[in-house]
Amino acid sequence: MLNKVFLIGRLTRDPEIRFLPSGSQVTSFTLAVNRSYRVNNEWKEETYFFDIEAFGSLAERLGKQLNKGTQILVEGQLRQDRWETASGEKRTKVKVVAEKVNIISGKTSEKPVEKEEEPELDITTEPEDFSSDEDVPF
């Protein structure tokens, strides 16, 4: 079986951080992903919104590094949450559980950003890799 997702998009809000009873961190955010397509020689664009969750050490790093507008590449898996409402209705929601995240660029802004707030990005270097398997001793 294969369950793999790759998405490139921008965060629609700052990440939300919470903790499980075990003390493990969960970082969640929504990613806006654009899709361009042609209809009768005219380009159209749609935007899709995906809920992303990260756990453990990956969640800790993302919670410190990401903010609204940051463009990232997410590699992960789909997970379907299922629950029943108080009135007995069955509900489901599909989320992406992040396994690796690369920061592509900082947030976009119409006004210039002061250097003290956010350093200028060097696009000649590799994107920063936030892999969840960093702690594996190989």
- pLDDT, tens only, 47-93: 999 999 999 999 999 999 999 999 999 999 999 999 999 999 999 99
pTM of the entire predicted model: 0.72
Tell me what pLDDT residue 117 has. Answer: 38
Q: Is the pLDDT of residue 130 over 90?
A: no
pLDDT(118) > 60? no
Residue 35's DSSP bridge partners are 46
Q: How confident is the model at residue 131 (pLDDT cuts 50, 70, 90)?
A: low
Enumerate long-range contacts of 106-112, CB under 8 Å, 24 or more apart: 106/69, 106/70, 106/71, 107/10, 107/11, 107/67, 107/68, 107/69, 107/70, 108/10, 108/69, 109/69
Give the pLDDT of residue 107.
66
5-131 placed in CATH 3.20.20.140: no
Q: What is the mean pLDDT of the chain?
A: 83
129: confidence class by pLDDT, cuts 50, 70, 90? low
